């Protein structure tokens, strides 16, 4: 009965994801370490329809980390917020990066099985509140793919992941791969998708990417290209504006409102705003101040701007 219910929920979400003509779902990103009942209720009251947070495969070996993940899911469910679950590792996936290709590929496949196990466990435990599983985050960037040449290691790893997630995919929508740039023709992200095209048709329901700095026309063009090239919708799992950049809080609020006011014409069924709360340990002022609220959860002008835009369809 539980499996049948999840399959029905997955089909409903897939229909919504593929509906590029309807109003997009808009959510916001949180960090599990600072996600509280108070923030969840504020997010819900502001009109966001889901949250996005990441789970690190290598950290799931820790009981304390597993408890933090469980607490984050419990808080989200209590507030009625489905979770867009991004799963990746923060450590290299293979140690034999140069000399022995066979050994390297074996390590990549073993690491892929670890991700499969974590995703299967999370969906099995929290599947009724998982909007979709997103595989990885910005694999084009060495900081998020510390495993050598992405062009040779990513396909080996992700093909194994795709093959191992068939049962999960039947129950929960799967999207990928949190690309750092829109997959336009000839881009690095486009090359990664092409390397998986034979398997990605059976692995992901949509292509996800990050749209920082993109215009409405660029987003529309990216959606059209992904649909034409891969037969999949394109989703924005990160876009944001910082109050630590030029324009300060006023500029951030104006950018947030202008972006969300155009969301219906972007042909993008899902948008996740980065992020809910300022990050105190960011490497510079820009990185520290993407939040709609500050580090103490005091609302910034950007939150009011987002709320005003979300109230208008």
Q: For residue range 257-275, what is the model confidence (pLDDT) as tens digits?
A: 999 999 999 999 999 999 9
User: Residue 88 maps to which CATH number?
Assistant: 3.20.20.80
Nearest CA to 203 out of 212, 193, 211 is that of 193
Compute φ and ψ for 114, nearest 5 degrees: -65, -45
* 308 within a domain of the structure (yes/no): no
Range scoring the smallest mean pLDDT among 164-168, 200-204, 205-209, 288-292: 200-204
What is the span of the domain harbouring residue 92?
Answer: 2-8+24-238+267-277
What is the rounded average pLDDT of the residues 12-21? Answer: 62
Task: Report percent pLDDT > 90 for the chain.
Answer: 82
pLDDT of 176 over the 70 cut: yes
Query: Is pLDDT above 60 for 5?
Result: no
- The pLDDT value recorded for residue 19 is 62
Cβ atoms of 122 and 85 closer than 8 Å = yes
Has residue 14 been placed in a domain?
A: no
Q: Dihedral, CA atoms, 227, 233, 234, 235, nearest 10 degrees?
A: 170
C-alpha atoms less than 13 angstroms from C-alpha of 138 in its C-beta half-sphere:
14
Contacts of 265 (CB under 8 A, 6+ apart): 216, 220
**Inside any domain, residue 290:** no
Q: Is the pLDDT of residue 18 over 90?
A: no
Cα–Cα nearest to 275, from 229, 231, 230, 244: 244
How many domains are there within the chain? Answer: 1
Domain membership of residue 293 (yes or no) is no
Report the run of H or E that residue 84 belongs to, with start and end: strand 83-88
**Can you give the pTM of this predicted structure?**
0.94
Q: Which residue has the tokens 């793919």?
A: 145
Q: Is 77 within the bounds of a domain?
A: yes
172 is a domain residue: yes
The token pair that represents 78 in the structure block: 């209590």
Handedness of CA 227, 203, 119, 94 (dihedral sign): negative
In a domain, 258, yes or no: no
Tens digits of residue pLDDT in 117-163: 999 999 999 999 999 999 999 999 999 999 999 999 999 999 999 99
35 in a structural domain: yes
Position 100 scores a pLDDT of 86
Residue 7 has pLDDT above 80, yes or no: no
Measured CA to CA, the distance from residue 179 to residue 66 in angstroms comes to 26
Dihedral sign (CA 290, 292, 294, 297): negative
Alpha-carbon span 276 to 52, nearest angstrom: 10
Average pLDDT of span 250-258 = 98
DSSP string across 98-154 = SS-HHHHHHHHHHHHHHHHHHHHHHHHHHGGGEEEEEE-S-TTSTTT--SS-HHHHH
């Amino acid at each position: 009965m539980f499996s049948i219910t999840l399959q029905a929920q997955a089909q409903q979400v897939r229909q919504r994801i593929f509906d590029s003509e309807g109003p997009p779902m808009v959510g916001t990103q949180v960090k599990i370490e600072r996600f509280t009942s108070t923030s969840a209720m504020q997010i819900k009251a502001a009109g966001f329809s889901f949250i996005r947070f990441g789970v690190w495969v290598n950290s799931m070996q820790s009981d304390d980390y597993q408890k933090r993940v469980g607490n984050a899911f419990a808080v989200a469910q209590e507030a009625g917020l489905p979770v867009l679950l991004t799963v990746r590792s923060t450590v290299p996936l293979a140690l034999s990066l140069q000399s022995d290709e066979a050994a390297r590929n074996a390590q990549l496949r073993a690491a892929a099985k670890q991700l499969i196990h974590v995703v299967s466990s999370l969906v099995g435990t929290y599947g009724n509140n998982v909007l979709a599983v997103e595989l990885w985050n910005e694999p084009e960037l060495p900081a998020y793919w510390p495993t050598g040449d992405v062009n040779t290691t990513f396909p080996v790893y992700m093909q194994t992941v795709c093959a191992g997630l068939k049962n999960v995919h039947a129950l929960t929508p799967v999207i990928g791969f949190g690309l750092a740039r829109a997959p336009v023709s000839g881009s690095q992200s486009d090359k990664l998708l092409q390397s998986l095209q034979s398997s990605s048709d059976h692995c992901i329901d949509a292509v996800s990417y990050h749209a920082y700095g993109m215009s409405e026309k660029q987003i529309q063009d990216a959606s059209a290209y992904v649909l034409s090239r891969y037969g999949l919708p394109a989703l924005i799992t990160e876009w944001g504006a910082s109050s630590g950049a030029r324009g300060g809080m006023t500029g951030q609020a104006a950018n947030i409102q202008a972006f969300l006011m155009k969301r219906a014409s972007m042909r993008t069924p899902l948008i996740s705003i980065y992020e809910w709360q300022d990050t105190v340990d960011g490497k510079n002022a820009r990185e520290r101040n993407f939040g709609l609220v500050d580090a103490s959860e005091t609302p910034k002008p950007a939150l009011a701007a987002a709320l005003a835009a979300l109230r208008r369809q």
